[in-house]
Structure formats: structure tokens, C-alpha cells
A and B are shown apart, each in its own frame.
Chain A
Amino acid sequence: MKQEFRDVLFSEIQRVAAADSRVMVLTADMGAIELTKFKERFREQYINVGIAEQSGISIAAGLALRGKIVFVYGIIPFITLRCFEQIKVDLCSMKLPVTIIGIGAGFAYGLDGPTHHAIEDIAVMRALPEMTIFSPSDPVSVEQVTRMAYAIPGPKYIRLDKGTYPVIYKAEHDFSLGLAVHRKGEDVTIVSTGTLVHKALAVSDELAKHGVSCGVVDLYRIKPVNAGLLLHVIEGSKLVATLEDHSIIGGIGSIISEVLADNRISMPLKRIGIKDHYSFRYGTTEQLHFLHGLDVNTVTKVICESLREL
């Protein structure tokens, strides 16, 4: 049976905790099958702080100050925005080894409405000095970024989608580069992140039917960005497009534009993401993607139009 991303992640945390009693998991009253197993196996290393993200981050900081390696788990808007100041001061300013696990990227909580939609988190979290941000796309990358988050110093944020997604990486894939090139494209390269990478691959398939050569890059580490490799990859295309389940402001589209500008490279860029408004439409993630132009057909059409405009 396929595991949800969060269960892949908490399975991996069980593996590291089995060898390291410093590992602790704090949850803001959010569950997962494998988190329950963690609780049963490592009772003293599990704390439910309640629906109290602000003190949850501060408590995590206190634990980390005495050498604990802490993971804090909650729904993205609440475990990033509600407690943003605690993340800034308690974790980032003191460079503490605490990993924030945010569940529900983009419209993952489609039925819950804009309070639960996570469309600003990349923009605000990447503005924090010291913060490392991972946005895995498949079970292998979830497992690997979890292990990296355990191993590297300082604060980290793992942006997780809900649900199950197919494997796109080999188990031995090297995730140290920060991005992966799944396909190279002469006409366009789509840079995507998280589970939108699967959509980018489907768009690439569709574009191939129209004779368009479309590359796909998975930006699974959003910060720090491997700008050198990113530029090397996208410079071979006529157009670079970004595809993300995040606001068009401040997400990976903004990151690419910053990388291009900072390196004085002028090339066409089409940013595809969520327009600058809140969505009061409710439904499945796919339905909301369709309503916001993030479905395969619409993205394919938008990229074709952008190529025609070159």
C-alpha cells in the first residue's frame, strides 16, 4: 500500500530516532499513522503541545537549546504564519536545529477554505535568514529530505503535500544538489516544486504531442537555491516557466526572476501559480487547481501561448 507523504516522513523519523535519543517530535494536535507509531515507540520523545503553535515553536526552541533535535508538525498556515515571530526569533535568530513539518501545500485542504490554503508560506519562510526549505515531490524525496533535515544544522521547513503520489526518483538519487532535471527541453523548461512536479511532467508529455520540447526541473530545495545549476539548466531553453501551488508573489516564480536578474540574464519567463487573491471556492485539490488554471490542459495552453508570443 502506498504511504501518504507524512507517513513516509514519520517512518524516516522513527529510523533516525531509533539511533538517536535526542530526536523529538512535537505536534500541534495533528496526527498521522506513522506518528502514532512514533509515539508508541518513543513515548518520551513525543509531545502534543495542543493547538498552540506559538508556544509550540518556543518549546521546541527550549528543547533544542539543550541539544534536542526537534521536529514540529502542523498544518502549513498555522505552523508557519501563526507563529512566524517565534520561528524568526526563537529558531532563526538562534540558529536552532528545529525542523518545521508543514502539511497541506497549496490547495491540499481544498474543502477547508482559505484559512487552510497554503499559498503564502514559501514567500514568507524564504525571507527568513538561516532557514532551509525543502519541498519534496515523491516518497523517495520525502524520505531523503527528512534525513537531510535531521542531519544539517539550523532551522528547516519541509513543505508537504497531503495524499499519495507515485515514485519518480530512484532510491539512490543524490539530493544534495537542491534540484533535479527530469527532462531537458529546447523550447521550454518548467521549473516546479512539490507535487506540482507530477503535473509539470504531464504538461511536458502534452507539449511533446504538439511538437514542443519541454524540460522539467524539480526544485525540491527552495532555499538555498542552487542558482548556478538552475541557470545552467534553463539557459538551454527559449522560455522558462514556473509552476507552483503558491501565490504568484514570492514563490518559485519570484525566485527564478531574482536569479535571472541577479545574474543579468534576460530570458522570457512565464510564472504560473495562484493569482493574488483568496479562494472562497471549495472542492478537491484537483477541482481547485482547475478553477485556478493549474490543471494540465490550461497550463499546456498557457505555455503554448507564451511560446507563440516569443
Chain B
Amino acid sequence: MGVAANGGHPGGTFSCTDILVALYYGGILHFDPHNPHWDERDRFILSKGHGGLALYPILADLGFFPISELESFGSVFGINPDNINVPGVEINTGSLGRGLGIGAGLSLSGKIDRKDFCTVVVLGDGECYEGSVWEAALFAAHHELNRLVAIIDYNGISALDFTKNVVRQEPIEDKWKAFGWNTVSINGHSFPEILRVLKDIHDPKSNKPLAVVANTIKGKGVSFMENNPSWHLGVPQGDELETARKELS
């Protein structure tokens, strides 16, 4: 899709793909592709909207819309998903630092209305530079939104450089803990680990929201993209494209 439309963010897309696959195919999220506005559904927010290329094929494969509509990427579908055109997408994304606040509002509405749905928000680590993320983190802990889950796609690379060279984020898990969240660090490419830490989100044993620091590799699955800051943006061409296709298949 990205190649056809000549645009996308492959690095951050591949770093969160395994997380999205686990959420949608691993029995974590409750949803109904034929009734995407079902009120009891879990809410999934890809706050790092530039990873949208990981989300569209999953939604299409699950039946939210016909797979043939993926061809409209670059026209009806953009890099950053919107809820105007794409069934299954909860909110409009693109600008960073908003998904956790919206997720907190959704989660609070569920708590007020005595609903059991969960809200899962995937954030980029670069996104965590936005102060609004931490405003929302404070709010969620204060209001004991224990059906709210933040998964940080912790690939260690922001738009231009490694985060350790941009503005240091470590110790990231301690920061979420200090904000009043339950925390856990996992390998964000291990399905067993992802499923293990998320299996009880519908039956929370604590009043705290859950932050999962998912250690990931930017550009995961394509050797020349992996851990390479220059593949935040870009479209593989020629031999690169062949190599990428071979390695991903």
C-alpha cells in the first residue's frame, strides 16, 4: 500500500505490527466487524497514527471493510487513520499526544455508565515527548481507570534519531509507575509475552491503569530498516523493495 501510494512510515509501522496482530487475533480485543459501533466493544486507539499501515490490513482481513478497499490507500485512506472513512477506526489521528487523553475520556465514560469494555491505546515512544501524554497519564491514575491500557511501542527511535540522543526517556517504566500506573516491560515482538500481560485486562485486579512498555525494533522484519533511524519515513525502491518483500513473506 505504501509503495503504491509512495508514502508511509515503515519503521514505526513494522515496530507495532506484532502488537496489533496480538490484540486483534489473540482474543484480547472484543469487537464485531459487522457492527463496528457496538457499544460493548473494546476501544482500540492507534495514537501513533503514522503506524496506520499496520492497522488497515488487519481491519480489512477481519471484515470491517472489503480487502479490495485497501487499494484506496492514498486517496480515501491516508497514512493516519480517520474515523470518517475507515470502519473500525475509533478516532482521527496524526498529530501526536492525543490518543491517551481520548482513551481516558472513553474509559471514564464506561466507568460512569458501568460498562465493562476496555480501552487500549498504542503510543509511540517519540510521542511520549508530548506533555499531553503525561497530563492524561495523571488523570487516568487519579480516576482509577483500570480498564485503560497504554502500550508504548518502545523502539528507541524518534523521527530523526535514537531517543537517547534526542531527549533521554529512561527509565521509562519507572516514569509510568511514578504516575500511578501498573507497569510491565515485555518483548513487543513476542506473541506469548504480549498475550500474557494483556489476558486479564477485562478482569482487572487493581484500581490502576496498565502501562506496557513493549520493547520493539523499529523497522522489524526488514533487515535494512531494522533499528535504522533513516527509515522513519520512506518507501523502498527497486532492490530494496524486493528484499523487503522477500524478508517479510
Q: Residues of A at under 8 Å CB distance from B?
A: 44, 47, 49-50, 52, 54-68, 85-86, 89-90, 93-94
Contact = CB atoms under 8 A, between A and B. Distances in A.
B184 interface: no
Contacts, number: 92
Contact of A89 (B94, B100, B104, B136): B94
Contact of B136 (A58, A60, A67): A58
A66 B132 contact: no
B50 to A, nearest CB: 14
Q: Which residue of A49, A57, A62 has the most chain B CB atoms within 10 A of its CB atom?
A: A62
Contacts of A94: 83, 91-92
B83 A59 contact: no
Interface in B95-145: 95, 97-98, 100-110, 112-113, 131-132, 135-136, 138-139
A91 to B, nearest CB: 10
A68 B109 contact: yes
Contacts of A55: 100-101, 104, 132, 135-136, 139
A214 to B, nearest CB: 46
Nearest to B131: A54
Contacts of A49: 139
A160 B79 CA distance: 39
Given A49-B139, A52-B135, A94-B91, A62 B113 contact: no
Nearest to A88: B95
12 contacts: A47-B108, A54-B97, A54-B132, A55-B100, A57-B101, A59-B105, A62-B105, A62-B109, A64-B105, A66-B39, A66-B113, A86-B101
Nearest to A93: B92
A62 B131 contact: no
A89 B97 CA distance: 11
The 6 closest A-B pairs by CB, nearest first: A62-B105, A58-B101, A55-B135, A59-B105, A66-B109, A55-B101
B173 interface: no
Nearest to A98: B105
B161 interface: no
A95 B101 CA distance: 17
B167 to A, nearest CB: 19
Contacts of A61: 91, 101-102, 105
B148 to A, nearest CB: 10
B112 A58 contact: no
Given A55-B101, A62-B102, A64-B105, 19 more contacts: A44-B112, A54-B101, A55-B104, A55-B139, A58-B98, A58-B105, A58-B136, A61-B91, A62-B104, A62-B105, A62-B108, A65-B106, A65-B109, A66-B106, A66-B109, A89-B92, A90-B101, A93-B92, A94-B91
Contacts of A90: 91-92, 98, 101-102
A118 B32 CA distance: 46
Contact of A85 (B39, B95, B106, B112): B95
